[in-house]
Amino acid sequence: MAHVLLTGAAGFIGSHITSALTAGGHEVVAVDGMVPAAHGPGAIAPEGVQLADLRASSLTEMLDGVDVVCHQAARVGAGVDARDAPDYAADNDLVTARLLAAMFETRCRRLVLASSMVVYGDGTYRDRSGQIVDPPPRRAVDLEARRFERYLPGGEPAEWALTPEDAPLAPRSYYAASKAAQESYCRAWSLETGGAVTALRYHNVYGPHMPRDTPYAGVAAIFRSQLEARQAPTVFEDGGQMRDFVHVTDVAAANVAAIERLASGSEEAHEFEAFNICSGQPISIKQVAESLTDGISGPAPVTTGRYRPGDVRHIVADPARAAATLGFRATIMPERGLREFATAPLR
């Protein structure tokens, strides 16, 4: 049994981790700041969850007797505009830095960090011969002409490839920059203290109790909200954008695996390690919308051709390292999970 401090315990992912840890016999100290962007205005911490402003509260007291910290608290999503940048920096980076300082003071040396696939930026591509390439950024003139791929200098579209954990970090949003910074703080902390950090880079997480349509919600929740309103899901570009969608119960299982590995004091747990947490089954955004529509017998998706200049065309994950090292393999594939999500309760 591990004694775990879980931040963000009332959140979408955190609540599922709480249930999984408790079911596994672990002792959980659950805390959450109940940030309105995640929980709505005036939200009250659920039973068993301590209300704590992690920007200002004393974190050393929470760490008394803790074996492993599981840090899920974060501001997520694409946000609205540059005015969100200070909140991403405060809720994600400042809180993480304060947590690491408190862990240093209390000699707690094991951390599981909720990271994200957004740190990879544009993802991984290859040419027709299979060589990994870095195509030029997408141009407005191509997007206007509905040429949505990334194109090689000769004019051929580059093909997407699975992104491994050693791919370069190239964040493209304030949220992504904050997650990359979190990883950097944790890497520096582990080098100084000898502490072990497991960073779990979530791909597109979905499932029951996901937040409804907000600027901080994922595309699956946005499609769900449109279908609930009996509106057709609106798909940007041509719908061919490839992603990896992973069910929240699988994400919770990955966290439990990482926590138990660190708590065991395994010599295989290195100072800083990152893992893709994904289903391993890439799916297009159009297929996501179609699966949800099938699950609720709703109106067919509408492919708009509209685009957002900062959007990534394809980003899909290589699941091999998580399988080999953590023993994590997703059990709910998108085809089944998304159809069930069509009628699952939302927050």
SS3 108: coil
Given a cut of 60, whether residue 216 has pLDDT beyond it is no
Alpha-carbon distance values, 132 to 135, 142, 167, 172 (Å): 10, 22, 11, 20
Return the beta strands (E) in the chain as ranges.
3-7, 27-32, 49-51, 68-71, 110-116, 124-126, 132-133, 159-163, 196-202, 204-206, 234-235, 242-243, 245-247, 272-277, 283-284, 302-303, 316-317
Residues 292-334 pLDDT 10s: 999 999 999 999 999 998 899 999 999 999 999 999 999 999 9
pTM of the model: 0.95
Given a cut of 90, whether residue 35 has pLDDT beyond it is no
Output DSSP code: residue 280.
S
At which residue do the structure tokens 């492919």 appear? 303
- At 330, give phi and psi (nearest 5°): -65, 145
Residues 88-144 pLDDT 10s: 999 999 999 999 999 999 999 999 999 999 999 999 999 999 999 999 999 999 999
